[in-house]
Each structure stands twice: as structure tokens, then as C-alpha cells.
A and B are shown apart, each in its own frame.
Chain A
Amino acid sequence: MYWTLIKTGLIRKRIRTFLTIMSLFVAFLLYGSLQTFSSIFTGSVKGLSAQNLIVMPRYDMFGKLPISVAQYVESLDGVEDVMYFDYLMPIKLESMMDGVVFASSPNFFDIYTRFQAPDEAKQALKSTRSSTIVGKLMAEKKGIKIGDKLSFKSTSMNQDGSYNWSFDVVGFYTVTQLAGDEMAAIVNYESVDEARLSEKGTISMIMARIANPNMADSISDKVDDRFMNSSYATRTGPESMMAVEMASEVADIELIMTAILLSVFFTILLVSANTMSQSIRERTIEIGVLKCLGYKDRQLFVSVMLEATFLTFCATGLGLLGTLLLIPVVEQLSDGVLANTFNLELEIIFGGFILGLIVAFLAASVPAYQALTLRVVDALRED
């Protein structure tokens, strides 16, 4: 019975039904896309560890810390191992590098388990000071092979007075999340520090593996308190949180996204409610006739609510399907940098349908109530 009533309402004005679904579709496409792609802006990327603490300069993302900070962190209770690195920034236009070079302590891959490389390459990085392990994505883009020389100009001056740097490619690494992290190369910190003429003994970032994620706050506080009043104030926190914090310093993206979504849904809600009201007003006589035939007030109320729910669920499904189709497009447009980064998570799908249900309920409650309370004699008087 309900399906016949719903179908009757939907096909009564096909173009209006189509346009209503399309307007709702745009809203749900926006919802799905913002939820799915927001991690780029918010830094809330899955796969980042809560067991790795990052220690970095407090006031300048690309500032420097003395290597003694790493030694202090390593000495703290609860810290199992410490890795540190400095950025060797290539000058992009005169470089075979499009990414960054990490001049790292030898245990880079031991701590940063998101990065994976063959054992022999890791061994070579430790034993041969001129070696480098290159990100797979960059190697593919630049056609770099094992045995090649990775040469580039950097902003750091070499001991020969030039800005030229060169390393032997001993292997490639991959990452489990954020393919963009494969646009880099790992080199030996000691060899870089020895060779450069300035900023010797400094590092850009420390990553400490802690025994228990619950100790993250206390260790972070201890490190930051220790260097609070020095020239090298630090900022410490779990890897999974630091990215979010850093992104939020640019702007409260989460708030902006919520505001956009609320605005869109409020507008769509008004449009849908108006459309449903108009549709029910036009069906006054039909509703009266159905009541004559024995249809109960409650049944007609439910049928209007179900009709609105069907409309919004169609739009929700289409919007989420659109999001699903957008994912490979965005990944393609990013030239592989964002490959395997996005998923239409189950919670986003579930959230979309809950949102659809709320929109349907709010949009249809007044028209459904009108249908519920419509007196047959009044309805037929309009005949």
C-alpha cells in the first residue's frame, strides 16, 4: 500500500521530483566530498602513530634544534628509541628532486615504520655514508634506478663551496599511507652534517618511540618544559596529533567545513520543505478521496514521511556514489601523490543516511501533519 502511495506522489510531477533529488544530491555530494577529502586540510590522516612522539621547533616549522635535544629526549624514562633528521632542501628548478631530502639518523626505518624499505638497502644506508634510499613514487616519476647518482642543488652549502650534493641510490622505499611521502629521499645525517658548512649539529625534527602511548602527554610536557625558556623551545606531541594541530594553526578547517555544510543543508531543507508542502497542497483532493476510501490519517501521514525519506535517500545514495567516483579522479589529478589516501568510510555513509533521515523528517513533518489533520469534507469542498 505504502509503495503505491509513495510512487503516486513521486511520479505526479516527475520534473519536480527530479529537480528536488538533484538539489539534495548536490548537498550530499558536498557532504561526502568534504568528509572524504577533509583529511588533506585537517591533517587527520589514518595510519599515523600515537606511539611516536614528534619534537620540533616550537615557533618555526622549518626551524632548527641542537642535536643535544635528541640526546635529552633519549634519556627520558619511557622513551625506547629516538630518530632525528634535518631537511636538506633541494632547489627544485635545478634539481632531479621534486620532494625533500631527509638527512636522518641511521634508525629512520626502525622508528618510522610507515616507511618501508628492503633490508639490504637499509643496511647500505647505515654502512655507506654516500648512499640514499629514494621514495618509489619519485623514482618512478624521475626514472631513477638503483646505482644511479642522485644529484641536486640545495640551499645548504657543501664543504667544496658549492651547493651541489650527490648520493648513490641503493634502494627504494614505500609508505603504507600518504603516497606523497614517497616524493622524498633518505640520506645519512652524519655525512650531510660533516659536509655542510653551516648549521652543523642541528636537526629539524626528532621522533621518539615511546613504550606506552598513555605516557605521551607526560613525556611531551617534560620535553617542552625543559626547553621552554631556551632559544630552542620545543613543541612535542604524538605524530597523529601534531599534523592536526599544525593544520589547525592555518585555520579551523573543521569549523569552516561544518559551517559550509550547515549552510548548504539549511538552504536545501527550506527548498525541500517548500517543495513537499506545495506537493501536498496540490494533492488535497486526492488525500480527501483516499480518506473517503478508508485510508486512515496515520497511514497518510506515514506515506508522506516515507515519500520524503525515499527522496532524500535517493539523493544521499547518488551523492555518496558521486563521492566514490570522485576519489579516483582526485587521486589521478594529484599525479599519484594522494594515491590510496582516501576512502569512503562506512561512518561517512552511515552519517549521510542519518543526515538524509533528519532532512526528510524536518522537510516533511509539516506537510505530513497537514495530510494527517486534513478533514475530508474540507478537502472535497475544493473539488
Chain B
Amino acid sequence: MINLIEVKEVSKIYNRGGETLVVLDGLSLEVPKGDFLALMGPSGSGKSTLLNLISGLDSPTSGSIIANGKHLEKMKSSALSDWRAGNVGFVFQFYNLLPVLNAKKNVELPLLLTNLSALKRKEHVATALNLVGLADRGDHKPSELSGGQQQRVAIARALVSDPDILVCDEPTGDLDRESATEILNLIQILNRDHGKTILMVTHDPVAAEFSKRTLYLDKGKLTH
């Protein structure tokens, strides 16, 4: 199977107040295209840092990260922005929707960076909202939606530019069990039916069960 993401001997070290903090310690990882990988581990184990590196939000101290054929550690900030816009969709724990924009406008945000016409953008937004089951809530602002619905809008925003990789950082951490299950089912469908490669950080073993495989991190290393 083709690896979409290859993490090779990656270390991430912070120097804070004269103290050296090793967050990732020579970690290697391969993620095939179409995988649904859950990353678990205690707080401070390096899960989110690994996710940030793979999604091009941060750069490693050493090692290399190849994602969709690109060496991310060699790319400059501007090129990484372009790469993220085309290849990665983000789903956060607290949704992070812009409160003054309605669902449609929030979903449209990534498309404003493209050359698509307003009509095409509208079509894409409608498709994405339809996919997450919120076709009828497009004109609602985040404050008018439940937590589960806001997370669906966030997923629609992550999907709208049709990226290969979906990065989910505790996507159900702020939801009740019922809403969490709905969101996890949706993510599973995106993986299974739409071929999205999904990297999900979670503390929740139930959430991890929705993935195809689960890896555990501790002190910056994969344990099993």
C-alpha cells in the first residue's frame, strides 16, 4: 500500500528557560493512504505535536516528514500554507468556527483562497454541508447550533476543499456521548466511503475504536 505520510526519525526539542524538553524522540511512522489512525497517550506525550508536524503547522528539530510526496521540513512558511490549503483539513476539539459568520460562510473560508467563482464556491459549500447532514442549517450562526452541529460544520469546513488528509485533534472532547458517536460515525464514513486519510488524537478509548488502528505515544516515543 502507498504511504501517504512518512515520518522518519523525527525529534522535536524545545528549550525553555534553559531547560531542554524532548517532546518527540526520534519517532518514525508510516501512514498509508486511506488509513484511519488514532493516536492515544497521556497528556504531554507528544500526540498534538506529532499532529502539528504532520499537518505542516510546525517544523521538526531533526528528521523528515514526507506527506503527499512533499518534504514538509524543507518547505517555507508560505509554501506550507499553500500545501495545507490543498492537502489538509482540520477538526479541532472546540470547533473554532468564526462566531460572526454563519455556517455557510464558515465552510466557505478555505475556498476564498482558491480561484473558484462565487457560484462554484456556493456549490461546494452546499455539497459539504449536505455531506455532514446540515444542508438546512447553513444560515445559522455557530451560537445558534448545538455542539455536535458546530463540529459538523467544522468537518464540512475541513472537507470543502477536498483534502486527502483530515487531522482531528480530540474531535469529540467537548461533546456528549450521543453527539460524539454521531461525529465519529461521520468521520468513519469519510474514511471508508470517501477515502480520506484520517489522523485522530484522542484520550477516549471508545473514540479510538472507530479507527482502523491505534498507536500509543509516551514520552515522545511510540510504545505499541
Contact = CB atoms under 8 A, between A and B. Distances in A.
A296 B81 contact: yes
Interface string A272-314: 0000000000000110011111111110000000000000000
Interface stretch (B63-71, B106-114, B124-132): B106-114
A293 B92 contact: no
Contacts of B100: 8, 11-12
A304 to B, nearest CB: 15
Contacts of A286: 96, 98
B113 A295 contact: yes
A296 B90 contact: no
A1 interface: yes
A12 B99 contact: yes
A293 B93 contact: no
B117 interface: no
Nearest to B109: A293
Contact of A295 (B81, B92, B96): B81
Contact of B110 (A293, A296, A298, A380): A293
Nearest to B113: A294
B134 interface: no
A372 to B, nearest CB: 10
A377 interface: yes
A294 B58 contact: no
A383 interface: yes
B81 A8 contact: no
Interface in A1-28: 1, 4, 8, 11-12
Contacts of A294: 81-82, 84-86, 110, 113
A293 B99 contact: no
Interface string A69-87: 0000000000000000000
Interface centre among B86, B105, B108, B112 (most CB of A within 10 A): B112
A380 B92 contact: yes
Contacts of A291: 57, 81
A376 B84 CA distance: 12
A377 B92 contact: no
Contact of B92 (A1, A289, A298, A375): A289
B216 interface: no
A211 B55 CA distance: 81
Contact of B96 (A289, A296, A297, A298): A289
B185 interface: no
Interface string A357-376: 00000000000000000011
A337 B99 CA distance: 56
A377 B78 contact: no
B77 A383 contact: no
B75 interface: no
Nearest to B81: A296
A383 B173 CA distance: 13
Nearest to A381: B48
Nearest to A294: B85
Given A380-B92, A383-B92, A8 B57 contact: no
B81 A383 contact: no
Contacts of A290: 109
B61 interface: no
B94 interface: yes
B78 A285 contact: no
Contacts of B93: 383
Contacts of A296: 77-78, 81-82
A8 B98 contact: yes
Interface in A77-124: none
B113 A298 contact: no
Contacts of B105: 4
Contacts of A292: 55, 57, 84, 90
A377 B84 contact: no
A124 B99 CA distance: 80
B43 to A, nearest CB: 13
B3 interface: no
B86 A377 contact: no
18 contacts: A4-B101, A8-B100, A12-B100, A289-B90, A289-B96, A289-B98, A291-B81, A293-B84, A293-B85, A293-B90, A293-B157, A294-B84, A294-B110, A295-B113, A297-B77, A297-B78, A298-B78, A376-B52
Given A1-B113, A12-B100, A293-B110, 5 more contacts: A1-B112, A291-B57, A291-B81, A295-B81, A380-B92
Interface of A: 1, 4, 8, 11-12, 285-286, 289-298, 375-377, 380, 383
Q: Which A-B residue pairs are the 5 nearest by beta carbons?
A: A294-B85, A1-B112, A289-B96, A296-B81, A376-B57
